[in-house]
Amino acid sequence: MTKTVFITGASSGIGRSTARLFQERGWNVAASMRSPDQAGDWIKQDRTLGLRLDVTDGESIGVAMDRAVTHFGAVDVLVNNAGYGTVGPFEASTPEQVERQIATNVTGLMNVTRAFLPHFRERRRGVIVNVASMGGRITFPLYSVYHATKWAVEGFSEALVYELEPFGIRVKIIEPGAIKTDFYDRSLEVLTRPGLTAYDGFVARAMRTMQKAGADAPGPEIVARTIYRAVTDGRHRLRYPANSASILLLRRLLPTGVFMGLVKRLVLK
């Protein structure tokens, strides 16, 4: 029987690459995004269903899930990929910007997961894939708000394992490193405040290094392949790095002060 994957944030980057890979491997694909009419012809292929879903809109979550289940009969895998990055000095942030980042990257992911749990639990099987980041276990300058959300996703996902294992539901965390997507431009919200110039030199140095890292990084296909492997390997392994294994290993091996010193040297050079 053909299996079905439901993907959030499938309009571009990691989400679109993941949807295309599952298409190629013969899966049914429920590709959800805020504007499916702008996705392109790939979403019109056989065994593919384009769905409007905004993870900050609870009603759209339920409607999209119901349509996918009705259309394909069941959903076997949920890939929580929707998200974006906020970057800049925390002092420059507004409460609204912080709340929006949390609403998308954390609360939205939780709400989509909650919607699918009865479906998976009743079938006594399913895989939940949460796309976190290497930034869910390490930190970089200027990403304080973004890191807060990805560390939350890591903790949420790990705790879910205890609850869902008895029902045959596996939880997977994907931890991408630098990946060449629109994360570094269209999907990036930069925190600034008129008159706040104290951080300008620091921001210029850090952003120059991190933008270059994004430009030189591999494409989202490497993450899509990691997601596919996590879904299909049949293991109860929790974490899967994607272009981040080396730096995550260093974080585990080095004392915190030493590791942070290394980050400063690399990012603020």
> What are the catalytic residues?
146
| Residues facing residue 77 across a β-bridge | 5, 127
Contact 97, 211 (CB under 8 A): no
d(C-alpha 30, C-alpha 67), whole Å: 9
Would strands 169-176 and 126-131 be described as parallel, antiparallel, or unpaired? parallel
Contact 83, 9 (CB under 8 A): yes
Contacting residues for 240 by C-beta, under 8 A, at least 6 apart: 172, 173, 174, 175, 226, 227, 229, 230
Token pair in block for residue 207: 């952003």
The count of residues in the chain is 269
**Chain centroid offset of residue 253 CA:** 25
Which residue reads 């996590």 in tokens? 230
Contact 3, 28 (CB under 8 A): yes
Contacting residues for 59 by C-beta, under 8 A, at least 6 apart: none
Token pair in block for residue 38: 């702008």
Contact 251, 188 (CB under 8 A): no
